[in-house]
Amino acid sequence: MPADTAHMENPTKSDGERSLERLFALQKKAHRDAPYPSYEERISNLDRLIRLTEANEEKFVNAISEDFGNRARHETIIAEIVVTVSGVKHAKKHLKKWMRPRKVSTPLHMLPAKSRIEPQPLGVIGIISPWNYPLQLALAPAAAALAAGNRVLIKPSELTPHLSEALFNAVTAEFDESVCAVVTGGVETGQAFTETPFDHLLFTGSTPVGVRVAQAAAKNLTPVTLELGGKSPAIVDKSADIAAAAKSIAHGKMMNAGQTCVAPDYVLTPGDRRDEVVSAIAEAARNLFPEIDTTQDYTSIVSDRHFSRLQSLVEDAKDKGADVVEVGSSNALNPQRKLPLTMVIDPPMDSAVMQEEIFGPILPIISISNETEALDFINDRDRPLALYWYGDDDTARDRVLQKTVSGGVTVNDTLWHVAQENLPFGGVGKSGIGAYHGTAGFETFSHMKPIFYQSRFANSSVMYPPYTEKTDKVLSIVRKIL
């Protein structure tokens, strides 16, 4: 029995695990039978992705909202539908160029041989997606993997069952399952997924689970791309326009109720402008969402567990002496788990809100006295997934960007670097390994195969043994021209 299927006949396995094993074997065979899908086939697969996303828009909007309690319709359309479709269209536009062999130069003494890097499909790609942008974070990596000519299995989060079902139905209706399929199931299916010998595994989720995924994948030496989380700072420089920075920070923090991997986690502000920053963010938040209880524009916290986790972060900071500014109120009954923007002013560093990724609309505002202190604050912590800098002083900006190592950066705004398909998207250190989007995604899911084409006019046998004086002469000429 081949290694890939050796563990296949255990009756105690869940439906999800059995379906995973069947689909993996099917896709593996399909890849062996047809390892290099043509440009036309790949374009047709990308068209299928666009079609299934657009045709099911209403179903996806409703399913995600049902999963969250309330997910703002426009947020789903912008962040799930539009971002996904524009990413797929970008791949379609550039695919011909991406598929071409890359010419690289060959050293003089080896001419007229040629050297090329030829992108090759890896085979079967596994994608594990989280609940916070459950459609985009399943389909955007799938688009990159299909563009690169692979087969794809997607394992969505168990926390968004309605979306997972809608996604399963949409993908099943559009794709042959030997090309792209969805596997649903609980944590045990997730674990089995990470133990499957994929040709590449892309995981989007939290850093602690990312560690487990990397450990499980390492047993098969499955290469991984880990799109993780962390605490992303927003730095308000003393040269910043506070009102403009506040509006952008409030938006970045309140979109999807802060349940965004690249949301600003905390703000670093000059101490003498802290109160101005707090008032400006509060005003901006009120303007964005005047009535958080009743508006459908403000998204709910995804589950009771996360809701009480976030509430206890605030309680812990209060207990440790921090002042808290809550913008707007939350209904006492709160059937939709709406949590207002809550600023925590200069919390002690041992408070939970400064120890873990917040992933909700709670915003620590931290006073710093100078740029060095801001740099130390960031560099004393794990490398963030994103970094935001606000100001007009380009020299100060460049100093901060050179002295911090983060995933992506947006200057004078939040979030938007993620929507630039020409920029690779990914973290660094504890916020992730590898990247996708645009060219980076195509190359992540390709084997960039180096090929040396020897010329029939080559005379490399002059370097073969037995070594003679002639060999030494040739060697000495080669060493001179190197």
- The beta strands (E) that lie in 359-407 are given as 362-368, 386-390
The stretch among 17-25, 209-217, 247-255, 269-277 that binds ligand NAD (CB under 6 A) is: 209-217
Q: Does residue 137 belong to the site contacting ligand NAD (CB under 6 A)?
A: yes
| Long-range contacts, 37-44 (Cβ 8 Å, 24+) | 37/121, 37/149, 39/95, 39/96, 39/99, 42/95, 42/99, 42/146, 42/147, 42/149, 43/92, 43/95
Does a cis peptide bond (omega within 30 degrees of 0) precede residue 466? yes
Q: Does residue 157 belong to the site contacting ligand NAD (CB under 6 A)?
A: yes
Which of 118, 158, 276, 293 contacts ligand NAD by CB under 6 A?
A: 158
Which of 51, 212, 286, 320 contacts ligand NAD by CB under 6 A?
A: 212
Q: Does residue 164 belong to the site contacting ligand NAD (CB under 6 A)?
A: no
How many angstroms separate the CA atoms of 210 and 227, rounded?
Answer: 8
The residue among 246 and 266 lying less far from ligand NAD, judged by its C-beta, is 266
CB of 141 to ligand NAD, least distance (A): 9
CB of 189 to ligand NAD, least distance (A): 8
Please provide residue 383's backbone torsions phi and psi, each rounded to the nearest 5 degrees. -65, 125
Residue sitting closest to ligand NAD (CB): 229
Residues 6+ apart with CB under 8 A from 84: 49, 53, 135, 136, 139, 140, 143
How many angstroms separate the CA atoms of 227 and 444, rounded?
Answer: 13
Count of residues in contact with ligand NAD, rule CB under 6 A: 28
Catalytic residue numbers, as ranges: 227
The residue among 76 and 269 lying less far from ligand NAD, judged by its C-beta, is 76
Which of 187, 218, 448, 451 contacts ligand NAD by CB under 6 A?
A: 187
DSSP state of 299: P
- Of 157, 161, 134, nearest to 66 by C-alpha is 161
- Residue 478: how many other CB atoms lie within 10 Å: 15
Which of 141, 432, 438, 441 contacts ligand NAD by CB under 6 A?
A: 432
Letters for 258-287 (x = contact with ligand NAD by CB under 6 A, - = none) are ---x--------------------------
Structure tokens at 250: 């409030």
Q: Residue 240 in 3-state DSSP?
A: coil
- Of 203, 204, 165, 201, nearest to 185 by C-alpha is 165
Which of 49, 125, 213, 277 contacts ligand NAD by CB under 6 A?
A: 213
Structure tokens at 292: 């958080």
Which of 120, 172, 191, 367 contacts ligand NAD by CB under 6 A?
A: 191
The residue among 203 and 371 lying less far from ligand NAD, judged by its C-beta, is 203
Residues 6+ apart with CB under 8 A from 105: 115
The residue among 183 and 285 lying less far from ligand NAD, judged by its C-beta, is 183
Q: Dihedral, CA atoms, 23, 24, 30, 35, nearest 10 degrees?
A: 150
CB of 87 to ligand NAD, least distance (A): 13
Which of 132, 269, 351, 406 contacts ligand NAD by CB under 6 A?
A: 132
Which of 209, 282, 314, 353 contacts ligand NAD by CB under 6 A?
A: 209
CB of 232 to ligand NAD, least distance (A): 9
Host H or E run for residue 33: helix 15-33
Q: Does residue 359 belong to the site contacting ligand NAD (CB under 6 A)?
A: yes
The residue among 64 and 280 lying less far from ligand NAD, judged by its C-beta, is 64
The stretch among 94-102, 125-133, 161-169, 318-326 that binds ligand NAD (CB under 6 A) is: 125-133
Which of 17, 199, 357, 443 contacts ligand NAD by CB under 6 A?
A: 357
Q: Does residue 60 belong to the site contacting ligand NAD (CB under 6 A)?
A: no
In 185-330, alpha helices (H):
187-195, 207-218, 242-254, 274-288, 304-319
Q: Are 202 and 128 within 8 A, CB to CB? A: yes
Q: Does residue 438 belong to the site contacting ligand NAD (CB under 6 A)?
A: no
Q: Which positions touch ligand NAD (CB under 6 A)?
A: 128-132, 137, 155, 157-158, 187, 190-191, 194, 204-206, 209, 212-213, 227-229, 261, 357, 359, 385, 427, 432
